[in-house]
Amino acid sequence: MDKPEKQEKSAYAVMEEEVLAWWEKEQIFQKLLKERKTKKEFVFYEGPPTANGMPHPGHVLGRCFKDLFLRYKSMQGYFVPRRAGWDTHGLPVEIEIEKKLGIKTKSEIEKFGVGEFNRLCKESVWKYKDEWERMTKRIGFWLDMDHPYITYDAKYMETLWWIIKRVFDKGMLVQDYKVMQYCARCGTGLSSHEIAQGYKTVKDKSLYLKFPVKDEHASFLVWTTTPWTLPANVALAVNPKLTYVKAKKDGETLIVAEGRLSVLGDGWEVLEHVKGKDLAGMRYERPFPYMKAQKDAFFVITADFVTATDGSGIVHIAPAYGEDDMAAAKKHDLPVLHPVQENGQFSQEIPWQGVFVKDADPAIVENVKERSLFFKEETYEHEYPFCWRCDTPILYYARKSWFITMSSLKDELVKRNKKVNWVPEHIKEGRFGEWLSQVKDWAFSRERYWGTPLPIWRCDTCGHGDAVGSVVELGERSQLRNRYFMMRHGQAMFNVKNVTETSGRPENHLTKKGIQETKASLARFTKKYKGVVPDVIIASPFPRALETARMAAEHFAIVSEAIVSEAAIREVHVGVFDGKPAKQYHAYFSSYEEKFTKQPPEGEDLTALRARMTAFIKEAEKNNEGKTIMIVSHEYPLWMLETALRGYDIAETVAAKKKKGNDFIKTAEIRELPGARLPLDENGFLDLHKPHIDDITLACRSCEGGVMRRVSEVCDVWFDSGAMPFAQANFPFACAQVKSAKSKAQSDGVSLSETEYKKLLKQIPYPADFITEAVDQTRGWFYTLLAVATVLDADVPYRTVISQGHILDKHGKKMSKSKKNYTDPLEIADTYGIDALRWHFFVASPVGEPKRFDEKDVLDAQRKSVAVLFNIAHFLSAYTGGVKRGPVKLPARLKNPLDAWVVSRLHETIAGVTEALDKYDALVAARQLGEYLDDVTNWYIRRSRERFQLAEDKADYRAGVSTLEYVFGETIKLAAPFIPFSTERLWQTMKKKGSIHVQLYPKAEKKRIDKHLQYDMMRIREVASIVLKKRAEAGIKVRQPLGSVMINGKTFAVRTKGLLRFIQDEVNVKEVRVDNALAEDIQLDTTITQELREEGMIREIMRHIQQARKDAGLTKKDIVIVRYATDDATARAIEAWGDRMKQRIVAKKIERVAEDTVSEARAIIGDGYAVKFVIIH
C-alpha cells in the first residue's frame, strides 16, 4: 500500500478509525476494566504532561510503549486501571502567560495582579487538551482521561501539604543561606534535577590574571572561567599539599602550581619552590576594590578542592557565587560580597551597574588589560547549565531558600534503587545510580506564583514557624471573625404549590404552617444555644425571608433595625422557569452537577450563585468582627454558602445535597455555619493557591498575640509529579479510616502513628508495577518519585522502569518544531495507519536507544506486520470458506509435518514473546513475532497453497484448514497488544464474540513444541535456499521444473520423515535424492528436457491466467472459460495439461480459437512460444 496523496486517508487509517468508533460505542475499555475489577491489580502510573504544549513524536513513542505492556498485562488477566494525569503548575506555564502579556519581570507580574496572573495560568494549562486527548485516542492508548489527576486540584495539593508537614516535622525541610543554581530571568532558584534538564555544550573565554602580592614584587597567577565574579573576591585558595613555584621572566615574578608551569609558556626561570600550606596567610591586592568587606579578607587560604589538573592551581574565592567558595568562607570566617542583584545585573557599587553579569565579562577583561593585570585569555568548550524553560544562563548565586536535606538519605535512596528492575539495565548503576551517589539537597522552594504554596507560616513577633498539613488543620487554626447561623425561611405559599419563585413576588407569604414551624425552630435554637442572641440578622429581600427575619427579631427581642435586607443572598435566579412548576426547572438539567455550568435561559447557574454567596460572606467578615450573625435566606443559596465554607468541590457539594434528601436545609431550619476561614476563590471554591492562601493568618502558638503569615515561596513543580502516587489518591485523607475517624488526631490526617500510616498505604495503588518515560526523566520524574517515597519512609515507588531513548530524525538530529524535521504523528497515522507506526517503534531498536525515524521504515513495518496478517486472513477466506465462530481444537498429534511444524513454531513464539514481554523487552518480543509471521506466510502458506487450492486429499485439507484457523486465531491474540486496531478488525472478521482485547493472552503448550522437527525444517529450508541460489546462478526461473537435486546426507541430516518433498515443491524439482557419499553438499541437475520445458511453459501460462483472474477481482468460487490462440505445438501441450490446468485456474473450459476472434487479449511471450488469451466469467 503506497503512500497516498496528502489529506487522503489510507484504507488502513479508515479501518483503524472504524475500530476506534466501535470501541467507543461499545465502551470496550470500560467493559474490560469492569470485567477484571476483581482480579489482581497491575499498578501503572502515568507521568503527567503539561497540556499547554502540543504533543510531539516523543510522546507518541512513549504512549505506544505504555499501551503495549498495559494491554499485555490486561490480556494476562490483571486488573489494569490507567488514570491520566496533568502537570499544571510551574515555570513552563508562567512563561507562556508572561509572553502573552508582554511581561518580563516578577515586579510586572505583581503589578498586573497575582490573582489574575494565576487565573490565566490555570486557564492556559488546558490550551492543547483536545490535541492530547485526540492523539492519545488515535494511537490506541487506552487511558482514563475522564477522571484524571490534576496537580492544581485542591485535594491533590492537600496531600502535597501533608507530605511537606511530615518532612518539616522531621527537621528535614530547612531554610538556609546557600549558593544555589539560580535563573535570574525567572527570579528563582532551581533544583539539581531541573538543572540536569538544561545543559548545553558552549564555548566560553577563560581568563588568567595577576593578583599582586602585598609588600612583594610578585603576583599570584589566578585562572577563572567566570570573570564577572571577580568584584566579589575575598580570598585566594591553594592546595596545602601541592608544590608551588615562583617563576620569573622579563623582570616579572608569578606564583603558580608547579604542575601548571606550562601555562606560563617558554622562557620562565623557576626561582623558588614552596608548599601550598606555606603560602597561607599571604595578602594580596584584589583587582576590583569596589565593595567594602565587613570582615578580614584578601589573603591566601588552603582548600583541598584546589587541584593542579587545570588552570594555575590557584583559585579565586567569591563566596556568593560558588558552593566550594561558600564552604571555604564559612570555614575561614570570610565576608560574603554580593554585588549582583536578583535580576542578574550588577548593583550600583560596580561600574557595570545594570548589565547582566555574563554580558559584562568582555568589559571586565578589557578593564584588567588596561591595568596590566591581564596575563592571557583562552577559549574552552564545556557543559554549562541553562534554565530548562526560559533558556537563560544559570548563575551560581547565594540566597535564602528552603531545602530538603536529601543528602542525609543517600544510602536509603541507593538501597531502594537496588530493588528496581531498570530497562535498560545499565541505567540502575549508571545514569541513575551515579546521580543518587552524588545526591544533593533538594532546592525545594521557588520565588514564583503559579505553584503549590509552601504551607509554612511564620510568626511576625517571635519568628516561630509551623507547617500546616491539611485543610482541616488550616481551618482549625484560622477562624472567621464572626459566628454565623443560617436559617431558611418558613414554608411559603409557592412551597405548597411546588412552584419556583425567584423574583420576590409580594403574594408569596409564609403559610400558617410556615409561621408555626418558624416559631418552633427559634424555640429549639434558644434551648440548644443558651444565651446566644444574634447581633445582626441579614435577610434576603424576598417577603418570605423578611417575614421570617422579623419573627426572629421578635423572638430574640432585638430591634427591627438589626435586620439588614441583602440582595446578595436572594433566591437563585431560575430565569424563564420563575413561577413555573419546580419540576420543569429541574428537568432542564441532566444532573445536579450540570446546574453548576449550565445556565437556565435568563437565569444563573449555581457557580454564579455560589460566587455571590461567597462575596457576601467576605463582605460580612470585612464589615463585622466578634459578632453573632443570623443569615435568613433560601435553600439553594444556603446550600452554596455552607458547602463553600466547608471547602467542598462540586462533587462533594452534590453529595451533601443528596445526603440531606429533597431539601439541603428544611424550611425554618437553623444551622450553625462552619467557623473555619478557608482560602476561597472568586467562585467560592477552595483554592490553596496564591493570593487566596496568603490572606490566611494563624494565631501563633509559641507566643502571646503573635500573628503568623505564610512564607512567600511555592514548591518545586517537580515535587507535584513526584508525589503523584499519594496525591492522586488524596492520601491519607480519602482513606476509609481517616474519613470516618472521630478524633481530630486522626481526621486531620497529620497526626497518624507510623503503624496507622503503613496500614493506610495498603489502601492505595502503591507501588507501581511499571512506569516508563523518556531517558531525561531519570533525573526528573523518576528521581522525584523515589525522593518523595524515601522522605516518607515508604518502599520504592516503582518495580520496573523503562527509560526510553529519544526519537531522532532520519539524520540522527533531535526532532524540533523550529527545524521542521518531523511529520505530525497523526499525519503518519492517516498515511500508513498507527499500527504500522507502533510496530516500527517496537522493532526499530532497543527501547533505551535513540530511534532514528524515517517514513519509509514505517511503510516497511506495515508490510511486515499489518499487511501480513491481512494477507493471511485473505488466504483463509479465499481457500477455507472463512473461519468458524467457536474455538478450534487440534488433535494431540498432527499427521502433516508442516502442520505440526507451524503449531510448534507458534507455541515456541508464544513462549518467547511472553518471556520477552515479562522482561519488558519489546524489541525481542516484536522481532520474534515478526519472524513467526514470516514463517507462516513464506513457508507454511506457500508450501500449503496447492494443498488448499486443490484439496485433493480431503482429510489433509480439513486438517490444514483447522491448523491455519487455530494458528491465525492464536497469532492475532499474540499480536493484539502490539497492533491493536488490525487485530481487533481481524477478530471481528473471524466473527468472534466481543473484543480481542478482552481475551486472555495465549499460553505456550510445551507438549506442542517439537525442537527436532523445527531443526529439521530449518535444515530443509536451508537446502532450499541454497538450491534456489544455484538456480539463479544458472539463470533458470523457479517456474521451470528441473529433474533432480542431490544433497549430502551427512551435511544435511534430517531425521523427520516426509520433509524432503518440501524441498521438491519449493525449488521445483521432480526428485530429491540423499547421498552420503556426495562430493559436494548439494548438486543440482540443470538439464532441461523437452518434457520439463513443456511443463515450465504450462506453469508460466497458468501464472498469467491467475493474474488475470486476480486483476478481474475474481475469487476461488468464480468459474471461468479461457479462450486462447497459439501455434499447434503449444496448443497440443495445453490440451495435454488441460484437466490439471482447469483444476488450478478454476476453469470450466479451455478453448483454442482463431487469433482474430480474441479481442482485448493478454499476450504471453515465452522461450519459443507465444499465447494470446481472454477469460470469460
Could you give the CA distance from residue 866 to residue 1151 in angstroms, rounded to a whole number?
41
Could you give the CA distance from residue 798 to residue 765 in angstroms, rounded to a whole number?
11
Q: Do 776 and 782 form a contact (C-beta atoms < 8 A)?
A: no
Q: Closest by alpha carbon to 867, among 11, 137, 6? A: 11
Largest Cα–Cα separation, the chain: 129
Could you give the CA distance from residue 854 to residue 354 in angstroms, rounded to a whole number?
49
Q: How far is CA 1114 from the centre of its chain?
A: 49
What separation in angstroms does the CA of 1155 have from each of 711, 1123, 1124? 100, 10, 8
Annotated binding site: 488-495, 544, 817
Name the DSSP letter for residue 1156. G
Half-sphere CA count of 202, side-chain side, radius 13 A: 13
Could you give the CA distance from residue 698 to residue 688 in angstroms, rounded to a whole number?
15
The cell for 2 is: 503506497
**Helix residue ranges, H only, 209-248:** none
Share of the chain residues as helix, strand and coil, in percent rounded to the nearest 5: 45, 20, 35
In the block, residue with C-alpha cell 499480536 = 975
The total number of residues written for the chain in this structure: 1177
Residue 185 makes CB contacts below 8 A (sequence gap 6+) with 104, 343, 344, 387, 390, 392
Q: To 10 degrees, the CA torsion angle through 274, 279, 282, 286?
A: 100
Q: Do 707 and 700 form a contact (C-beta atoms < 8 A)?
A: yes
Q: 173 has which bridge partners?
A: 404
For CA atoms 1115, 1116, 1118, 1120, the dihedral sign is positive
Residue 818 makes CB contacts below 8 A (sequence gap 6+) with none
The cell for 779 is: 533525573
Annotated binding site for substrate: 488-495, 544
Q: 404 has which bridge partners?
A: 173, 442
Strand order in the sheet with 456-459: 465-467, 456-459, 707-710, 698-699
Task: Give the DSSP per-residue string, 850-891.
Answer: -EEE-HHHHHHHHHHTHHHHHHHHHHHHHHH-S--SSPP---
Under DSSP, is residue 204 helix (H, G, I), strand (E, B) or coil? Answer: strand
Q: Do 510 and 492 form a contact (C-beta atoms < 8 A)?
A: yes
In the block, residue with C-alpha cell 537563560 = 392
**Residues with catalytic roles:** 489, 571
Could you give the CA distance from residue 787 to residue 774 in angstroms, rounded to a whole number?
18
Could you give the CA distance from residue 26 to residue 14 in angstroms, rounded to a whole number?
18
Q: Closest by alpha carbon to 163, among 589, 704, 790? A: 790
The cell for 1168 is: 519459443
Q: How far is CA 1 from the centre of its chain?
A: 33
Name the DSSP letter for residue 422. E
Q: DSSP E strands: which ranges in 297-366?
A: 299-302, 314-317
Q: Do 708 and 700 form a contact (C-beta atoms < 8 A)?
A: yes
Task: Give the DSSP per-residue string, 728-740.
Answer: TTTTTTTSHHHHH
Asked if the peptide bond before residue 732 counts as cis, ω within 30 degrees of 0, the response is: yes
First to last CA, the chain: 28
Q: Do 419 and 412 form a contact (C-beta atoms < 8 A)?
A: no
Which H/E stretch holds residue 660? helix 650-660
